[in-house]
Structure 1
Amino acid sequence: MSSRKSGIFRIWKLYSSHEKRNIIIYIVGIMLYKFGLEAFNGSIVTLAANRYDQEAFHSNTTVRTFEKIGLLSGLNQASQCIGSILVAPLAKRWPTRTVLSISIFVFGIFSAVLMIVDAATGGYIKPKDYVQTDEHDYRYYGKYNTDGIIPIYCITGIAFGMVELIRRVIPRDIVGDNPEKLQKMDALVHIFYEIAGVSGAFATALGLIPRLGNNYSFIITPILFTVAAIVWLFINSLGLTTDTDTNDDQNEKSGYIKSLIKGIAVFFQSFCIGAKIIVTHRKFVWLWGCYALTLYAHRYLENGIAPQIAKRYLEQSEWSQIIVGASNFGELLGALFVFIFGNYIKTPLPWSRLDASILLLVWYIPFYYPPANNVRYAWIIAATYIPIGFGSAADDIALNSFIQSSLSGLESKHKNISALGAVASFLYSSYIIIYAILNPLLGIYIDHVYNSTGTVRPAFFNTVAIQMTVICGIVFISTLIPKGAIACNPKLSQDENVDIIENPTVLSDRNSDHEQVIKRNNQVDTGSELVTYF
């Protein structure tokens, strides 16, 4: 016990008082953000699923529920890329904390729009004495076209992308590029992030949706987002200074448009550079399968499969949040495990192998026959998502720390694009592209099977069991690629020459690289890095 206490004390001593203060403030904001996010995302998906089924039933048309849900989620993911591009010009003029606060506040405003539309079209909070006459009876919903959710969800996706982008940049801004400090901070933040995620998911499924209905269950989201925006304003300046060269509004608007156009160009340029770095180096090529594919697999299991199980197996769409909450609890356990024992695992490879192996647990789903409308079976299914979430979090933390630490000192031949930003941009964008394409297509396939057979089990055999097995195989093969990877706990060889063409200015300033990471004095490089890091 004493050795464990001394280990935790040593971790605490890693950080300066300035870093501790910023970490604490950041964690408070991130927990408010995550709780509100779970309430919003869980409510929107279940609301859309109910409304699309209801519309198909009343109009006597073919059910296209999960085709539309897939499109909804895919477009939201694509909108996140747009949000990441919009951040960079803003970050060149204002500190990161200001841009982060503005982004979350805008997200909160647009999350309230759907409730306003619902109320304006005759919707109201679910009555206390409401009794559902059949599975399509949602008479307390507003009378608007359900497709109207799509543009609203896309707009919130833009704001979400801005928040998520900055959230991925801030750890290195706060603690620098020290691998141990990064891993411990990533794990610590992830722990509290998932505590809020578990609480938010369960509160949404068991309290907010049954009490308010999923058309108003996210009423807490704009409130929590506004509070989070205020809290994050108290983070000390992270070095992103404002642009004082602009003297009038017209120049500011012109400068922003130019920066935006440049940001778009830099985004695609960084994607190509990141792809080149990944594909042409044995040291990094394995990251594509282990990062992009596993991230897609977990998001699809949470945002794609969980709503389908809840709607088609259990006939209660809001119970998908019980499953998501269990996955978040697994992620909490995974983050806690890495925080305590992460130093014993030298590379992300064992975590990636564990993550891929756990994905095979989903093979039971096509052959499971739970009775409908019994919440007990939602909890049984949720229990199987706990180890899946555990593997996801452990793998994600290890991979992010590896990417941040191994690439932070490299620079590409393009002065406005960092190698770290380029690689992260390529990997995360790859995940978004995969998800945005496959989720709607798989939704079409699932709806087709459901319409023709009356069940989704034959579709689940392919979309769940076979698909996750293929991903598992690709990940396992990928983990055998790096030099020295043939071991249970390998330590990667560092003898590969990474032939990134560097800038003379970067070479001359290499000795002060750590200070540049913290202070961010070069505004052009900073803005570009924010674009590419997403």
Structure 2
Amino acid sequence: MPLIPTGFSQVWKLFSAKEKRNILVYIIGIMLYKFGLEAFNGAVVTLATNRYDQDAFEAQTPSRTFERVGLLSGLNQAFQCFGSILIAPLIKRWPIRTILSISIVVFAIFTAILMIIDAATGGYIKPANFTPQHPNDFSYYGHYNTDLIIPIYCFTGIVYGMVELIRRIIPRDIVGGDVEKLQRMDSVVHIFYELSGTAGAFATALGLIPRLGNNYAFIITPICFTAAGIIWFFLSSLKTSHPSEKEDLNNDKSGYVKSILDKFLLFGKSVYIGGKIIFTKRRFIWLWSGYSVALYSHRYLENGIAPQVAKRYMENSAWSQIIVGGSNFGELIGALTVFLFANTIRTPMPWLRLDAILLMIVWYIPFFYPTVNEVKYAWIMAATFIPISFGWAAGDVSLGAYIQSSLTNVESHDSHISPLGAVMAFLYSSYIVLYAIANPLLGIYIDSVYNAQKTIRPALFYTGGVQFTIVSIMVFVSTFIPRGSIAFNPKMLNKQLYDAEHTEDEKIDDLNSVENSLHEHPPVHDIFDLDAYF
């Protein structure tokens, strides 16, 4: 089928005047949110990296930097899930616009805590004429225990999860249940979201951290978040996700605490059911490597390898955000490419295979010898991360639609848990567990090699090259597991495969099967959408 690009003007005509206004307001708010988020995450990770190195230097002890940074990132991811579960009952009781605005303002307050602690313990903005006496001289930092960053970052993860849940639900309240409008709005919003993220990463690395220091580089985050909250409050007449009358009566009687406990129990049950579905059916078993393992590798690339290389190769932790900026740009191109080729490539198989191949690019990193403190090498690495993240984003976006459509005909034996919600709960929980365990363990190995040899290249041979080769093989091989997937560009598999197992003579219109499933289940890409299915 030939590629027929869809112009922005054609897409824009799909929406009513009120929907256009709400979309513009939402996009302005989300760009402010993403810019502030990149500044916060980038500054905190680089701050922790510098402080742990400084602690080891002053105490004359072996470095444990990337063990602790790995733990920091892993726990933050886990607490995001916790936050999304905490906020879910509130969404059913109050207007989403109000909950979103309040949540982002609370997030802004939480991000300011670390700066308050730094100032209270003698920290200050990096002086313009500051000249370090040695590589680990950060005398403008506050004098507090560096491990304090971990619980603070975890608490911000809770609020982060709350905002992310609402952010993924609110498009349906802006444009309703129309599938085409939802897909187009998601695509347009995602483009501006990644543009802002790319700009935020570069601004943090090149402007904020050099001028203000890691300890105050995220001073714009509370400002951006508060502005986003105020702007989102002007979203007009959004629908509210009301529970059924019976559920509402039960919630009123039981209260918020019991509702939260019920959510946790239901989530645990969903994980179990999702794992059972995935590992007992051929057409689903490949999803674990295609989604969970691939997502883990992408997160480790950005939150593990990028900071490690920036600090140990280039001796400037801030430049990890330049590398992440390149990764964000690759994600933008990947999402846009899938949008343009949606009529030509109907399954995630070609994208996942491309992702698996492009992962092999990381093999150059153990043999990369950049000159210390020369920023051009950070830009070179950023350029190499573009195709890697392009492949992952293309596979991830297309895989979301496949998971929805392939689970349409799976029967549920529990009225409170949909197969789609259960499978997504298992897949995303698998990623969280894998990332939370592997990141600090690999950090311990990285630190041990660095302490012994004063370089991390031998470690990156295994944590980068070998690990990503294993992931590449797993993802690539898994794409040939479903029936009918041997072709280079297979046709839509989900309903075709389901009926092939039950009624071999029935003809299936693949496009209609996808559209029907999307009417029943709006787009889902991670655990933060699961409340709609619980």
Q: Between Structure 1 and Structure 2, how many residues are aligned?
A: 512
8 Å contact from structure 1 (residues 266, 531) kept in 2: no
Is 2:61 aligned against 1:61? yes
2:5, 2:362 → 1: CA distance? 38
How far the C-alpha of 1:427 sits from its partner, in A, is 1.4
1:246, 1:287 → 2: CA distance? 33
Amino acid in structure 1 at the alignment position of 2:164 = E
Which stretch shifts more, 437-446 or 104-113? 104-113
**Structure 2 unaligned residues grouped into runs of 5+:** 502-515
**Structure 1 unaligned residues grouped into runs of 5+:** 500-511, 519-526
Which residue of structure 2 aligns with residue 440 of structure 1?
440
Which residue of structure 1 aligns with residue 112 of structure 2?
112
Which residue of structure 2 aligns with residue 376 of structure 1?
376
How far the C-alpha of 1:391 sits from its partner, in A, is 1.4
The one-character-per-residue Cα deviations of 1:368-415 (angstroms, maximum 9, x if unpaired) are 111111111111111101111211222222122333444467662222
Which residue of structure 2 aligns with residue 283 of structure 1?
283
The one-character-per-residue Cα deviations of 1:91-147 (angstroms, maximum 9, x if unpaired) are 221233333323222211110000000000000011111112211111100000000
8 Å contact from structure 1 (residues 355, 388) kept in 2: yes
Which residue of structure 1 aligns with residue 238 of structure 2?
237
8 Å contact from structure 2 (residues 65, 447) kept in 1: yes
Identity of aligned residues (%): 62
8 Å contact from structure 1 (residues 267, 532) kept in 2: no
How far the C-alpha of 1:280 sits from its partner, in A, is 2.7
Which residue of structure 2 aligns with residue 425 of structure 1?
425
Which residue of structure 2 aligns with residue 36 of structure 1?
36
Which stretch shifts more, 114-123 or 394-403? 394-403
2:287, 2:82 → 1: CA distance? 24
2:291, 2:462 → 1: CA distance? 22
Counterpart secondary structure, 1:342: coil
Matches within 5 A, 1:1-400: 7-172=7-172, 174=174, 181-235=181-235, 236-241=237-242, 254-400=254-400
How far the C-alpha of 1:188 sits from its partner, in A, is 2.2
The one-character-per-residue Cα deviations of 1:209-232 (angstroms, maximum 9, x if unpaired) are 000001000001111111212222
TM-score by length of 2: 0.88
Against the structure 1 CA distance between its residues 5 and 482, is the aligned structure 2 distance closer, same or farther, given a 3 Å change threshold?
A: closer
1:457, 1:471 → 2: CA distance? 20
Amino acid in structure 2 at the alignment position of 1:388 = I
8 Å contact from structure 1 (residues 47, 215) kept in 2: yes
Against the structure 1 CA distance between its residues 124 and 311, is the aligned structure 2 distance closer, same or farther, given a 3 Å change threshold?
A: same
Counterpart secondary structure, 1:299: helix
Matches within 5 A, 1:366-515: 366-407=366-407, 412-493=412-493, 494-497=495-498
Which stretch shifts more, 236-245 or 42-51? 236-245
Amino acid in structure 2 at the alignment position of 1:476 = F
Amino acid in structure 1 at the alignment position of 2:377 = Y
Against the structure 1 CA distance between its residues 427 and 219, is the aligned structure 2 distance closer, same or farther, given a 3 Å change threshold?
A: same
2:321, 2:113 → 1: CA distance? 22
2:466, 2:180 → 1: CA distance? 37
8 Å contact from structure 1 (residues 182, 401) kept in 2: no
8 Å contact from structure 1 (residues 166, 530) kept in 2: no
Which residue of structure 2 aligns with residue 506 of structure 1?
none
Which residue of structure 1 aligns with residue 508 of structure 2?
none
8 Å contact from structure 2 (residues 62, 451) kept in 1: yes
Against the structure 1 CA distance between its residues 413 and 78, is the aligned structure 2 distance closer, same or farther, given a 3 Å change threshold?
A: same
How far the C-alpha of 1:173 sits from its partner, in A, is 5.2
CA-based RMSD: 3.0
1:401, 1:131 → 2: CA distance? 52
Counterpart secondary structure, 2:133: coil
Which residue of structure 2 aligns with residue 507 of structure 1?
none
8 Å contact from structure 1 (residues 295, 431) kept in 2: yes
Amino acid in structure 2 at the alignment position of 1:123 = G
Against the structure 1 CA distance between its residues 324 and 515, is the aligned structure 2 distance closer, same or farther, given a 3 Å change threshold?
A: closer
8 Å contact from structure 1 (residues 270, 417) kept in 2: yes
How far the C-alpha of 1:290 sits from its partner, in A, is 1.1
How far the C-alpha of 1:196 sits from its partner, in A, is 0.5
Amino acid in structure 2 at the alignment position of 1:88 = A
Which stretch shifts more, 95-104 or 303-312? 95-104
8 Å contact from structure 2 (residues 205, 319) kept in 1: yes
Against the structure 1 CA distance between its residues 365 and 424, is the aligned structure 2 distance closer, same or farther, given a 3 Å change threshold?
A: same
8 Å contact from structure 2 (residues 83, 158) kept in 1: yes
Counterpart secondary structure, 2:217: coil
1:481, 1:348 → 2: CA distance? 13
The one-character-per-residue Cα deviations of 1:1-46 (angstroms, maximum 9, x if unpaired) are xx97865444334445554444333322221111011000000000
Counterpart secondary structure, 1:192: helix
TM-score by length of 1: 0.88
8 Å contact from structure 2 (residues 409, 498) kept in 1: no
Against the structure 1 CA distance between its residues 230 and 276, is the aligned structure 2 distance closer, same or farther, given a 3 Å change threshold?
A: farther
Which stretch shifts more, 411-420 or 254-263? 411-420
Against the structure 1 CA distance between its residues 247 and 451, is the aligned structure 2 distance closer, same or farther, given a 3 Å change threshold?
A: closer
1:170, 1:402 → 2: CA distance? 22
Which residue of structure 2 aligns with residue 502 of structure 1?
none
Against the structure 1 CA distance between its residues 9 and 51, is the aligned structure 2 distance closer, same or farther, given a 3 Å change threshold?
A: same
Counterpart secondary structure, 2:192: helix
8 Å contact from structure 2 (residues 408, 517) kept in 1: no
Amino acid in structure 2 at the alignment position of 1:158 = I
Amino acid in structure 1 at the alignment position of 2:242 = T
8 Å contact from structure 1 (residues 271, 423) kept in 2: yes
Counterpart secondary structure, 2:45: helix
8 Å contact from structure 2 (residues 178, 519) kept in 1: no
Amino acid in structure 1 at the alignment position of 2:77 = Q
How far the C-alpha of 1:158 sits from its partner, in A, is 0.8
